[in-house]
C-alpha cells in the first residue's frame, strides 16, 4: 500500500528534489505531502512535479516555527496519518559569533532544532499508537563535526543529532525508525544564500585577524569546497529514497564518501584533538594536510597496537 510522506521545506533544494523523486516513483509507492512555509514560492515545485501534482503529490503550507501551522497541516491529512516524516527545513549561518546577534542565532536554533521538535510533538504520538513510522531528518556532517565559522549552525545540527539519538531508543520500543541523513556540501539555494549573507557580515565587531581569516581564508575557499566536494540535491534525494525503502534503515547515513575521511577522524581519536588539528592544518597550512593524513594513519596503527597491548595486560 502507498506510504504517506510528509516533507518540510519543499520550495527549493533538497526538500524539492526529494518530493519530486518520491512523487515520480514508477511503482507509485508514495503519496507525498510537500510542504512549505510560503505557498507563494511553490512555482519551482509545481513545475518540477509536473503531472504528479494532484496525483502522488500535494502541496500544503507548513511553517516549522509555528505549532499551529504544523497541527493544521497534520489534521488535514487523511486520518492524520504520516508513515514517513522527512524533516528537511533548515537555515544556515556563517561568520564570527561576535558579529552575529543573538536573535539571528535563535532563529537558526528555532528552525533547525525546535522545528524538528515541534514536528515530532505532533507526529510521534500517532506513530507510537500505530507502532509504525519512519522519521528521517536531513542533518549534516556538521551534526557530527564542527566547522570553522559555522559555530551556530553546527550547534543546531548537533542538537538535532543528540535529540534523535536520545529518542531512537524509545522509538525502537515502538518499532519506529529514525534516520539522520548527513550530507556534506550540497549545491542549493542554501549554499548561495548563506554565502551572500556571509559576505554581507558586518565585521566591525571582529578583530583584524578574525576578519581576515573569515574573508580571505574561509569565504575565499567557499566555492572551491562546493565545486570539489559538492553534491546535487537530486543525489541527496536518491540517498533518501534508498534509506526509506530499506528493511532496516541505519540511524546515521553520510551521503558523501569524499567527506568520510574527515568525520572518521573524530571516531579515531577520543581526545578530539585529531580532527581539530587536521582542520587547523587544512585551513592554515594546506601543504601540511598530506602529512596530517599520514599522521592519522600512524595514529590508527598506534591505537590498534595499544588496544592489543591493553588486552594483553588484562589477561
Residue ranges that bind ligand NAD, judged by CB under 6 A? 8-9, 11-15, 36-37, 63-65, 88-91, 111, 115, 138, 140, 183, 185-186, 188-191, 233
Residue 100 Cβ vs ligand NAD, minimum distance, rounded to whole Å:
17
153 is catalytic: yes
Residues 6+ apart with CB under 8 A from 81: 4, 126, 130
Retrieve residue 137's grid coordinates: 531528518
Question: Helix 260-268 and helix 273-284: axis angle, to 10°?
Answer: 140
Distance CA 20, CA 27 (A): 14
Instruction: Give the 3-state secondary structure of 22-78.
Output: HHCCCCCCEEEEEEECCHHHCHHHHHHHHHHECCCEEEEECCCCCHHHHHHHHHCCH
Q: Which is nearer to ligand NAD, 84 or 89 (CB)?
A: 89
**Antiparallel, parallel or unpaired: β 84-87 and 252-254:** unpaired
As measured in angstroms, the least distance from the Cβ of 24 to ligand NAD is 18
Instruction: Give the position of cell 528534489.
Output: 17
What angle, 0 to 180 degrees and rounded to 10, lies between the N-to-C axes of helices 260-268 and 288-314? 40
Tell me the closest approach of the beta carbon of residue 17 to ligand NAD, in angstroms: 8
Q: Which of 33, 153, 218, 259 is catalytic?
A: 153
Nearest to ligand NAD of 92, 133 (CB atom)? 92
The residue among 76 and 170 lying less far from ligand NAD, judged by its C-beta, is 76
Residue number with CB closer to ligand NAD (52 or 188):
188
What positions carry a catalytic annotation? 153
Amino acid at each position: 500500500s502507498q506510504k504517506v510522506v510528509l516533507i518540510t521545506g519543499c520550495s527549493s533544494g533538497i526538500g524539492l528534489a526529494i518530493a519530486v523523486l518520491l512523487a515520480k516513483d514508477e511503482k507509485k509507492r508514495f503519496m507525498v505531502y510537500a510542504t512549505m512555509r510560503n505557498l507563494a514560492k511553490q512555482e519551482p515545485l509545481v513545475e518540477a512535479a509536473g503531472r504528479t501534482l494532484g496525483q502522488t503529490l500535494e502541496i500544503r503550507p507548513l511553517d516549522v516555527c509555528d505549532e499551529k501551522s504544523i497541527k493544521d497541516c497534520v489534521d488535514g491529512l487523511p486520518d492524520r496519518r504520516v508513515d514517513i516524516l522527512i524533516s528537511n527545513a533548515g537555515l544556515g549561518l556563517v561568520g564570527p559569533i561576535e558579529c552575529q546577534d543573538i536573535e539571528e542565532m535563535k532563529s537558526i536554533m528555532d528552525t533547525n532544532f525546535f522545528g524538528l521538535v515541534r514536528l515530532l510533538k505532533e507526529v510521534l504520538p500517532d506513530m507510537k499508537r500505530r507502532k509504525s513510522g519512519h522519521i528521517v531528518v536531513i542533518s549534516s556532517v556538521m551534526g557530527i563535526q564542527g566547522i570553522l565559522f559555522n559555530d551556530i549552525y553546527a550547534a543546531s545540527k548537533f542538537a538535532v543529532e543528540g535529540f534523535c539519538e536520545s529518542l531512537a531508543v524509545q522509538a525502537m520500543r515502538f518499532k519506529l525508525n529514525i534516520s539522520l541523513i548527513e550530507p556534506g556540501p550540497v549545491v542549493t539555494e542554501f549554499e548561495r544564500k548563506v554565502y551572500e549573507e556571509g559576505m554581507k557580515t558586518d565585521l566591525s565587531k571582529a578583530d583584524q585577524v578574525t576578519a581576515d581569516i573569515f574573508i580571505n581564508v574561509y569565504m575565499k575557499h567557499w566555492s572551491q569546497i562546493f565545486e570539489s566536494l559538492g553534491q546535487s540535491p537530486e543525489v541527496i534525494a536518491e540517498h533518501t529514497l534508498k534509506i526509506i525503502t530499506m528493511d532496516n534503515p541505519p540511524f546515521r547515513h553520510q551521503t558523501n564518501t569524499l567527506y568520510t575521511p574527515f568525520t572518521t577522524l573524530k571516531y579515531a581519536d577520543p581526545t578530539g584533538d585529531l580532527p581539530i588539528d587536521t582542520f587547523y592544518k587544512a585551513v592554515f597550512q594546506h601543504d601540511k594536510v598530506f602529512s596530517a593524513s599520514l599522521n592519522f594513519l600512524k595514529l590508527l596503527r598506534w591505537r590498534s597496537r595499544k588496544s592489543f597491548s591493553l588486552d594483553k595486560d588484562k589477561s
